[in-house]
Structure 1
Amino acid sequence: MVPEGFPIDIRRTAMSPDPASLPAPIPPLDAAQLVSALYREHDVRLELVGVAPGGEVGAAFVRWPDGRDGVLTRAGDGSGESEASLRATAEVLELARTHGVPAPRYDLIAAVDGAHVVVQERLPGALPEAVDALLVDRMVAATQVWSGLLAGRTELEPPSLYLTDSGPGFCLHESLSRYDARTRGLLGQVREIGRGIGELTGEDLVHLDFHPGNVLVDATGTITGIVDWDGWGRGDRWFALEVLAFNLSRLRADPLVRRRLDELITASVAPERLLAYRAHLGLRQVDWAIRHHGPAEVDFWLGTAADRLTT
């Protein structure tokens, strides 16, 4: 499945470049500063309860004066998210909720310090303690509700896979082009694949970062919430399940569970489209590892990308 002309072994370990030559990482959430700014600029009073577990940039638990619990996040930081796009997210999630998708309600969207603060409903449940066959089956089943959910919504632009140009704050080509010969080799593959397919297509609601860290479950393992919908789009729900498959490799999930999910995906997605999905995720993960995690993570995701682009 890999295009010809890229002989570099992207699994081979190499020295990393000077960090100053790479694109800057996204700064972590400063929840206390945002809570203070919301009060100062918008007279919105929130109590900071604690830091939410998981996540790369971060989220915080807050409480409204009437006792409602919420989750505070920051949008912006180069992602290109405007107030209009955030309100579109809120509207689409409200539609999804009416169809039974356990997505949070958006209670506040406010401009603060050059970005936007979002306070969402805090859903019940906790992060899953185990990533097993039952959880994966339930996550696959959860996406079935997304099928055709955005049929007729042609005003919604299909998400780009950013295979030929950098994304807004993620999927940065510059990171791979500056890091080493292995990442430049992967970038060449990604760009070649992008000449054929460049965006998602379809009428499904798609969570673009669908993995166990964005799922909440109750004591029985039933999914009670799917969170972090900042990245969503109108397209193919199987893309979300390929995101999950990539993540299962990082979690070192049971090989039988991983194989079963891969079989479902390959039976449902055309090979050339699946290759584009995998190219996007290889680009996404390697770029993020370069800017936020360091050589060991870069090596891991290069290996994962190589494996998935050749199967």
Structure 2
Amino acid sequence: MTMQIQKLIRKCTAGIAGLIAALTVAGCTQQAGGSSASGIPVTGKVTLTVFDVGKADAMVLQTANTVTVIDTGNKGDGKEIEKFLTAQEIDTIDNLIITHFDKDHVGGAARVLNRLKVRNIYVPDYKSDSDEYLSFIQKASANQNTITSVPAQQKVEWTADDASFRLFAANETDYGKNEENDFSLCLYLQHGNQKFLFAGDAEEARQQELMALKLGEVDFLKFPYHGHYLPTTEQFLDTFAPKVSVVCCSNKEYADSSTVETLQKRGVEAYYTNDGTVTVVSDGASLTCTQTKE
């Protein structure tokens, strides 16, 4: 049987060698200086996997000894996280972060809790009446999982190996009708000189809050709200000036054309998950990015 193999190589400061059979591969390397946030030389790596699950967020963030899951996609997407981790003989998630309770973020959580052990669960401090949210809460209760609701204007901080994490809650307790996106928990990660920002589905109000934190520029940005272009988009990108960004979208519900253009104009190395699962590896001094499509 003949396999058709396509290559797509994005040239950055370094190329990516190698091809996985029957997969489309894209890659780049971004470089900058590096020791850990405390000044201690980084000895391990941080690996981020952003899954190709359509217009939904599902990510796994791994340090040498810990696993953090950020969102679980739609109802059927929990199996992708399960399959990915069990293939590595991992049966425990240290931290499960549900940024907010839209079905394309919390949908797969019940399955994840059903199939894997979870030590810590972090959620925003509000409730939903969606079926996906209720399934998640019921499964967590059945498992006797502890859920930490992060109150408005608060943050949770922890370290894992040589990476530091800061999880920021939204400032307000009410953003108006149909504004759940602005409740998004947002994660800031530093590993050596490499800084990551995961912006959930932050819309205008939440993006303004994130900019007000004065976190400085980041190397990686999980682009907010599936690539929707908002009045704050350009200011947001100028504030954080990411070198690499991943947009979670589908062929049918692609990023706004203005967003694509804005990222291009700023020279951001942008990956769109409809083109495949994205893997980002930090060694503390540089990022290596690859994309695979089954």
What TM-score do the two structures reach when normalised by structure 1?
A: 0.30
Higher alpha-carbon Rg: 1
**Structure number with higher strand proportion:** 2
What TM-score do the two structures reach when normalised by structure 2?
A: 0.31
**Structure number with higher helix proportion:** 1
